[in-house]
Amino acid sequence: MNYIDKNFYNIIDEIKSKDVYDIYFHILEKFKNISENTQRSMEKFFAKYAYWGELKIDNGYYKVLFNKAEIFKKHADDYVKLYESLKDYKSKYVLFAVLNDFYNFDFVNLKNATEYCFKHYFDLNLIPKLKENVFVDVGAYVGDTVLDYVESYGKESFQKIYCYEICQENIDKMKINLKNFDNIEIKRKAVSDRRGKLKFDLDNDISSNHISPGGKIEVEGVALDEDIKEKISMVKMDIEGSEMKALAGMKEHIKNDTPILLISVYHNNTDLVEIPKYIRSLNGNYDYYLRYYGGCVYATEIVLFALPKVKKVLVKNLI
C-alpha cells in the first residue's frame, strides 16, 4: 500500500472507530492548537461565507466543526467510494489532503495538493485539447473562466459559448472582457432545476452572489435542458451552492450528451460526495478526478472533473 492510500485509510478507520462527539472533540482540539490569528481569520471567513456553519470563538460556539464531525461519521463509506473511483493519484491525494485539513487542520498537505501549473478548471493533463466545443459557463462572473479557456485551448476550440450570470454589474464587465470574441451568448439567468423567478442579494464580494429565498433582486431561473437545445460538450459550474439543482436541471444533457463536467464541490458540507454520486446515477460513462485551487487553511475551490470514459478499441488478430 502506498503512502497516499495508507494515510487516507488511516483517517477513515479512525473516523469509523469514533462516535460523532469523539470526532467533534478531536477536531475542536486540533482547531485550538492552531494560532489565535488563524482562528480569528477563520471566524471572519465563516461569518462572511455561511455555507458550512457558524464559528463564534468567544461564545464557545463551534457549529461549523460539529457539522464536519456529523458529515464525517455519516459519509465515511461515501468518501471511500469516491476515493476508490478516482482515476489518478493526484486526485486521491487531493481528497486525502482535504479530509486531513478538515479533520486535523493540516495545512501542509493541503498546500502541497494545490494546482499551480494549469489554469483553474483546465488541467491539460486531463483535458489536453478541445475542438469546436459547445461550452457552458454557469456562474460566469466577469468572463474570467472564458478567457482562461481560450488561452488554454485557442479560439478554434469552441463553436459556441454560453455564459450564465445573475449580477448585471458582472455582466457589464463581462461584455467588455469578451468583446473580441464571436459566438459567445451572455445570459442574465440563474441556472437551476426548473424555470421560474428566483431571488438574490448583492454580496460585498460580487463573485459570491447566490440565490436566496429572502433576496430582494429578482432573476429568471432556467433549467439547461430547456434553455439549450443543442448538444453540450462541456459545462463549468461555480454557483455558490446551487450546483446540485443546476445539475438536476440538465440531467437529460448529462444522460444523452455525456458532456465534460467541471463542478465546484465545496459550497456545502456534502457536495464533495453527493455530486459525483448524483452524476453517476444519471450516466455511468464517466471517470472522476479532483483538483484543488484554494488556499492552505480551509479547503475551498475543490473541483470535480467528470470526464467521459475513453472508449477502448479492441484490435483482433485476423491472421
- CATH number of the domain where residue 172 is located: 3.40.50.150
Distance of CA 85 to the CA centre of its chain: 17
Which pLDDT value is given to residue 198? 77
Q: For 53-90, what is each residue's pLDDT tens digit?
A: 999 999 999 999 999 999 999 999 999 999 999 999 99
Tell whether 106 and 138 lie within a shared domain: no
Which pLDDT value is given to residue 215? 66
The phi, psi pair for 122, rounded to 5°, reads: -120, 70
Would you tell me how many other CB atoms lie within 10 Å of the CB of residue 180?
Answer: 9
Q: Domain residues for 11? A: 3-113
The Cα angle at residue 305 between residues 302 and 310, in degrees rounded to 5: 160
Tell whether 144 and 257 lie within a shared domain: yes
| Residue 159 maps to a domain | yes
Nearest in space to 149 (alpha carbons), one of 167, 137, 138: 137
Tell whether 89 and 185 lie within a shared domain: no
The arithmetic mean of pLDDT across residues 285-299, rounded, is: 97
Which pLDDT value is given to residue 210? 59
| Residue 311 maps to a domain | no
| Residue 287 maps to a domain | no
Which pLDDT value is given to residue 65? 98
Q: Which residues pair with 163 in a beta bridge?
A: 137, 186
* In the chain, % of residues over pLDDT 70: 92
Which pLDDT value is given to residue 319? 44
- The residue type at 78: D
State the SS3 of 277-307.
HHHHHHCCCEEEEEEECCCCCCCCCEEEEEE
Say if residue 266's pLDDT is above 90: yes
Tell whether 33 and 154 lie within a shared domain: no
Tell whether 52 and 142 lie within a shared domain: no
| Predicted confidence band of residue 318 (pLDDT cuts 50, 70, 90) | very low
| Residue 257 maps to a domain | yes
Name the pTM for this structure: 0.92
Tell whether 108 and 141 lie within a shared domain: no
Which pLDDT value is given to residue 199? 65
Tell whether 105 and 142 lie within a shared domain: no
Query: CA-to-CA distance for 107 and 123, rounded, in angstroms?
Result: 23
Cell of 31: 482547531
Q: Which residues pair with 234 in a beta bridge?
A: 135, 260
Which of 264, 282, 313 is at the close of a domain?
264
Tell whether 260 and 138 lie within a shared domain: yes
Say if residue 43's pLDDT is above 50: yes
Q: Would strands 286-292 and 302-308 be described as parallel, antiparallel, or unpaired?
A: antiparallel
Side by side, which strands form the sheet with 217-222? 190-191, 217-222, 196-201, 210-211
Tell whether 148 and 214 lie within a shared domain: yes
Which pLDDT value is given to residue 211? 56
Q: For 218-245, what is each residue's pLDDT tens digit?
A: 888 899 999 999 999 999 999 988 999 9
Would you tell me how many other CB atoms lie within 10 Å of the CB of residue 227?
Answer: 18
Which pLDDT value is given to residue 219? 84
Tell whether 163 and 221 lie within a shared domain: yes
Which pLDDT value is given to residue 197? 80
Which pLDDT value is given to residue 206? 47
Helix (H, G, I), strand (E, B) or coil at 308: strand
| Residue 66 maps to a domain | yes
| Residue 124 maps to a domain | no
| Predicted confidence band of residue 204 (pLDDT cuts 50, 70, 90) | low
Which of 221, 238, 264 is at the close of a domain?
264
Which of 264, 284, 308 is at the close of a domain?
264
| Residue 184 maps to a domain | yes
| Residue 290 maps to a domain | no
Terminal-residue alpha carbon distance, the chain: 42
| Number of domains within the chain | 2
Tell whether 205 and 259 lie within a shared domain: yes
Tell whether 241 and 183 lie within a shared domain: yes
